[in-house]
Each structure stands twice: as C-alpha cells, then as structure tokens.
Structure 1
Amino acid sequence: MALYHLIYQSQATVPFDTPALAALLHQSRLFNHRHHMSGLLLHTPDDRFLQLLEGEEADVRSLYYQHILPDPRHQHCEVLGEGPCLQRSFADWNMGFRVALATDLHILLQEAARTEYAADGSRPAVSPALLRQLLNFVGRNTGAARYYSEE
C-alpha cells in the first residue's frame, strides 16, 4: 500500500459557476472520503483547473485515468507529474479548494515545467518545489467562501 500522488491541469469545456463548483466539490469530497484520498483543486476565472490527488496508487490512477480524463466537462488534460510519495501534502482535506488567478496558475505551471521526463519516457515525479509552491499558495489564499470549505 504505497502512497501515490498525481497532479494535472485541464480546461473546462463548460463554465463552472458557483453552484457547479460547489456540486463538483461535494461529489469529489464524498468520493475521496470513501477511497481515503486527499488533495487540492485550484480553479481560475477562465475555467482552468489544476488538481493534486493523493492516496493509494491504484485509487489515484483509477480516479484520474478512468473518471477524470474521459469526463466531457473538460479538455486538454495534462499530467504534470505523478509517482510515489512519502507523505500527504494535503492530508487534512478530502479535497481542498482555492480560486486562483491566471497569473498564479502560470507561476505554478512554470515550476511544473522545470521537471523533465525520465530517460525511459515515464512521467516525471511531482516536483518537491511544485508541492512547496502549492502549499505556499494555499497558505496565502485562505479566504475562500464557506461553501468551498470542508467544514
């Protein structure tokens, strides 16, 4: 039972207004709670997403490759990194959420771009520097509306 994480970005194909985001978060948190998963979802006003998933490898990979990737509500899914991890970065959240500006996402994606694919072509691991950036971003942006919280 190895701990695993995966981070990806995508673009919504339909607008995600407040009720749609609240419904998505409710559904995600229930699923993640049942499967002992945690993570963070960032959403920008132009409907881009960046999400980090943490849990058992089979659960994380199944969620992304069998449920998220084929979901018609978004496109241009790109895995930025995945692999084993020693501990959860967002252990207290079934699915944490923050609104991010496009500039915030750009900074985070610049950090992700620094991670190169392995010589065998396998996906890169999630960069420790990117995890630090995410944790710093969350620490700076704690004013999300109540319906976004997990309370």
Structure 2
Amino acid sequence: MGLYQLIYQSQSLVPFETPELTALMHQARAFNRIHHITGLLLYTPDGRFLQVLEGEEEEVRDLYYNHIVFDPRHFNCRVLAEGPCQRRNFADWTMGFRVAQAQDLRKLLSPVPPDIPGLLVPRPHTRPELLELLLDFVANCETEPWREHPV
C-alpha cells in the first residue's frame, strides 16, 4: 500500500472547550505517532470538525472507518475527499490543530462555480484544491502554542 489522504467533516454532540480539545489532541497525537499518521484538525466554536489524515492507506482507512466514525463524541461524519497522494502536506504534525470560525469552513467548503460555460451546477473542491486552501488557512491563522505539536 502507499501514502493516502482522507479529509472528512463532522459535528460534535456537545461543544468542546479547551480541556476537552486538549485531551482529544493528546489522544490523537499518541495514536497517530504509533501509527505514523499525520494531519490537521480544525474545530469551530459551533462544534464542527474538519480533519485531514495522512499515512499508509491501511492505517488511515482503519482509523477513519473503524474508529472515528464510531466515536460517540460526534456525528454526521462525511468524507469530503480521499485517495492516494505523493507526499504528506502536514508531515511535521502528528495532529496539527487550529480553531476556525463557521465562515472559515464555509469558505473552505463552498462549491466552486462552474468553469464550463452553460454548466449550471457548482462542483465541490478537488482534494488538491481543498488541501491548498487548508494550507493557506493554516499559514495565515493565528494560534496559541499548545495547538502546535510537531511529530
């Protein structure tokens, strides 16, 4: 198997405050370190998650489909994009973390206007487009030191 990325979003059942987010990050980083998974987690104050997972395909798919989907702390898990990749975009983070606002997620996930004249249906971002938007968001986002954690 090869390097793989999976991007999903979900909704928390209850709001996560700093202690819950800190515990979630410690748990995710420990698991990811053992399984050689890297990635990024965005969380909005209204309880939405957007996460990128990167690693060997078997490890990433197992984590998402056998663990994350069944985590009782959230619901409405929806894969936005997944597939093989050439390199890790978040290679230095066992799980990077950023707080995002609802409008940030709307901007990241808004459909792309049709690029073909006469086509009236917008399309979702491709995985490379979404990753580029996420990398730009991370680069321009202020963060607190506890939210950074290199591998």
Scaled by the length of structure 2, what TM-score is found? Answer: 0.88
* 1:79 alignment counterpart: 79
**How far apart are the structure 2 equivalents of 1:146 and 1:93?**
13
Unaligned runs of 5+ in 1: 117-125
Aligned residue pairs, count = 141
Checking the alignment, whether the CA contact within 8 Å between 1:111 and 1:130 is kept in structure 2 is no
Per-residue CA shift, 1:18-47, capped at 9, x if unaligned?
A: 000000001101111111110000000101
Unaligned runs of 5+ in 2: 113-121
**How far apart are the structure 2 equivalents of 1:100 and 1:115?**
20
Q: Which runs of 4+ in 1 moved over 3 A?
A: none
Q: Alpha carbon RMSD of aligned pairs, Å?
A: 1.6
Checking the alignment, whether the CA contact within 8 Å between 2:110 and 2:124 is kept in structure 1 is no
CA-CA distance at 1:15 after TM superposition: 1.5
Q: Percent identity?
A: 58
* 1:123 alignment counterpart: none
* 2:145 alignment counterpart: 146
**How far apart are the structure 2 equivalents of 1:51 and 1:145?**
19
Checking the alignment, whether the CA contact within 8 Å between 1:111 and 1:129 is kept in structure 2 is no
Q: How does 1:22-61 map to 2 (within 5 A)?
A: 22-61=22-61
Residue 123 of structure 2 aligns to which amino acid in structure 1? R
Per-residue CA shift, 1:98-118, capped at 9, x if unaligned?
A: 0001000011111588348xx
Checking the alignment, whether the CA contact within 8 Å between 1:11 and 1:49 is kept in structure 2 is yes
**How far apart are the structure 2 equivalents of 1:131 and 1:39?**
11
**How far apart are the structure 2 equivalents of 1:106 and 1:45?**
14
In terms of Rg, which structure is larger? 2
SS at match of 2:81: strand
Q: Does 1:114 align with 2:123?
A: yes
**How far apart are the structure 1 equivalents of 2:81 and 2:71?**
20
Q: Measured at CA, do residues 95 and 111 of structure 1 come closer, stay the same or move farther in structure 2, by a change above 3 Å?
A: farther
